[in-house]
Structures are given as structure tokens and as C-alpha cells.
Amino acid sequence: MQIKDSTFLVTGGSLGIGKATAKLLIEKGGKVAITGRNKSRLEKAAKEIGAFPIHADAGKPEDIKKTYDEFLKEFKKLDCLINNAGIGGKWNQVFDLDLEDFMNVYSINVFGAALMAKYAANLFKKQNYGNIINVSSTAGTKGFANGTVYASSKFALRGMTQCWQAELRKYNVRVILVNPSEVLTAFGDDEGKERKEVSNKLRSYEIAHTIVSTLEMDDRGFVPEVTVWATNPF
Ligand SMILES: NC(=O)c1ccc[n+]([C@@H]2O[C@H](COP(=O)([O-])OP(=O)(O)OC[C@H]3O[C@@H](n4cnc5c(N)ncnc54)[C@H](OP(=O)(O)O)[C@@H]3O)[C@@H](O)[C@H]2O)c1
């Protein structure tokens, strides 16, 4: 697709991977809306990068409807949904799992992503065109100790991606799964404090670059899944 003049909806765009992706899309001439729960952080980021802010929680169905209402009022049509919003939850072992934590994490990482995609898919079916990026994780390809809740939520996102690929290709919709390994963002920090950059670990920019590169491929082709590692993080 051509980024210039296309429209993008990025969930969780006030920090980290979402913000870096929105910024890169805007630099390439895309028209971009970003969402987030913390209003002041969202507005600050939107002003900084030139995005349209939509104050909304991707884990709340009523906010998802509001997101699309506000997006379509501003941009008229959607070319690409970037399902990026996600949280880690608690890092418990099997002995200490609790249902509330599953519900918190799944409401955003799984149910929120699914409902965001549902609205997008209905628009895309009508226009016979569209793109969805699902930001998953290497945690969604291999489990690890203390990872039950988060890893399983990302496995679910991977499974849903494959279902949507099977359902939407005939409408010229590309659904692309992106699996970053560790990226130095504010992920897991309630204050939104970003971790300090170090030269051998991934930055949000590498993931933004991956997302934009897969989108820039001519519409006749698409990358179903891509994983990004740091070359030498040790
Ligand atoms: N960082 C990593 O190492 C890593 C690795 C693999 C995959 N990922 C995935 O990459 C995605 C982005 O992570 P990140 O590292 O960029 O995290 P981050 O720095 O914590 O940023 C998360 C962004 O999402 C927003 N957000 C969180 N929950 C939201 C919700 N319910 N509705 C709307 N916005 C929401 C946050 O703003 P508010 O808090 O104000 O809502 C923030 O803008 C996540 O899906 C994560 O699972 C991250």
C-alpha cells in the first residue's frame, strides 16, 4: 500500500511501539489517529507527532464504538487498523493464577483486539480493501515460566490472526502478525516511564520500521507473520 494519504488507526499510540509507528507513518504522509487511556499522555503524544487523538480504552466495548465513530468523522474511511494496545498483567506461576488477572489482560490483548478487528473487517468488506496489523510478541510463539496469562493472550491473538487471514483475504484484506521480542519501552510501568535506550536492545523504532515495511509491500502480496529479535542482546 501507499502510506501517503492513507488512513491509520493505532490503538495504544501514546507511548512505545504504537507511538513510534504512528510517528513513522505520519512522516511518510499517512493520516493517523492514536488511542490511549491516559488523556494527558495521549494529547501530548498526538501534538508531538501530529496525530489525531481518540481518548479510548481498547478494553471497553463502548469505547471501541466511540473510537470508530470519532475516527470516521475525522477521516471518512479506514485503510489500516494497527491493533497495538496491550498489557502484561501479573507474572505469576501456575500456583498463583487468578481469574481477575486473566480478565484484565484478555479484555485488552484478546477481546479488545478482536472487537477492534470486527469493526475494521466490516468496513473493509464493504470497501473490498484493508489492512490489519496485530502486534503480538515472541511470547505468543513460545511459553515461558511466569508467562501463563500474557503468553496465552498473545497465543490467542496469533490464532485469531490466522482465522482472520482465512476469512478476509478474499476481500483483499491483509492481516499481518508482528512478534517483537523485548523492546525497551515503558511496558509494565504504570507511570509510563520509558526504559533507557541501550545499543544492543530493540527500540520501538525497529518495530515501527517492520510494521511500515510490511505495509509498504504492493497490495498483491503480504507477510502473514514476522518476528523481530535483537541481534545480540546478551
Ligand atoms: N515492550 C516489549 O518488550 C514488547 C515485546 C513484545 C510485544 N509487545 C507488545 O507491543 C504492544 C505495545 O507495547 P509497548 O511496549 O509499546 O507498551 P507501552 O510502552 O506500555 O505502551 C503501551 C501503549 O498502549 C496504551 N494502552 C495500554 N492499554 C490500553 C488500552 N486498554 N486502550 C488503549 N490504549 C492502551 C498505553 O497508553 P495508556 O496506558 O494511557 O492507555 C500506551 O500508549 C503491546 O501489545 C505489547 O504486548 C511489547
Tens-place pLDDT, residues 155-184: 999 999 999 999 999 999 999 999 999 999
Extract the C-alpha cell encoding 1: 500500500
Distance 90 CA to ligand 1 centre (A): 15
Q: Report yes or no on 146 lying in a domain.
A: yes
Please report the atom of ligand 1 found closest to the CA of residue 37.
41
For residue 59, report the phi and psi dihedrals to the nearest 5 degrees: -95, 0
**Model pLDDT for residues 85-103, shown as the tens digit of each residue:** 999 999 999 999 999 999 9
Extract the C-alpha cell encoding 4: 501517503
Catalytic residues: 150
**How does pLDDT run along the chain (234 residues), one tens digit per residue?**
999 999 999 999 999 999 999 999 999 999 999 999 999 999 999 999 999 999 999 999 999 999 999 999 999 999 999 999 999 999 999 999 999 999 999 999 999 999 999 999 999 999 999 999 999 999 999 999 999 999 999 999 999 999 999 999 999 999 999 999 999 999 999 899 999 999 999 999 999 999 999 999 999 999 999 999 999 999
Q: Report yes or no on 1 lying in a domain.
A: no
Q: Report yes or no on 2 lying in a domain.
A: no
Q: Report yes or no on 61 lying in a domain.
A: yes
Please report the atom of ligand 1 found closest to the CA of residue 14.
43
Angle value at C-alpha 97, between 91 and 101, nearest 5 degrees: 70
pLDDT at 130: 98
Ligand 1 is surrounded, with C-beta below 6 A, by 11-18, 35-38, 41, 57-59, 84-87, 108, 135, 137, 180, 182-183, 185-187
Q: In which domain, by residue range, is 130 found?
A: 7-228
Distance 12 CA to ligand 1 centre (A): 6
Q: Report yes or no on 197 lying in a domain.
A: yes
Please give the tally of structural domains in the chain: 1
Please report the atom of ligand 1 found closest to the CA of residue 13.
43
Q: Report yes or no on 234 lying in a domain.
A: no
Residue reference for cell 487511556: 37
Ligand 1 pocket test: pick from 82, 183, 201 the residue with the most ligand atoms within 8 Å of its Cβ. 183
How many CB atoms sit inside 10 A of residue 55's CB?
A: 18
Q: CATH number for the domain including 87?
A: 3.40.50.720
Please report the atom of ligand 1 found closest to the CA of residue 194.
19
For residue 9, report the phi and psi dihedrals to the nearest 5 degrees: -120, 115
Q: Report yes or no on 163 lying in a domain.
A: yes
Distance 86 CA to ligand 1 centre (A): 4
Ligand 1 pocket test: pick from 11, 17, 44, 138 the residue with the most ligand atoms within 8 Å of its Cβ. 17
Q: Report yes or no on 44 lying in a domain.
A: yes
**HEC string for the chain:** CCCCCCEEEECCCCCHHHHHHHHHHHHCCCEEEEEECCHHHHHHHHHHHCCEEEECCCCCHHHHHHHHHHHHHHHCCCCEEEECCCCCCCCCCHHHCCHHHHHHHHHHHHHHHHHHHHHHHHHHHHHCCEEEEEECCHHHCCCCCCCHHHHHHHHHHHHHHHHHHHHHHHHCEEEEEEEECCECCCCCCCCCCCCCCCCCCECHHHHHHHHHHHHHCCCCCCCCEEEECCCCCC
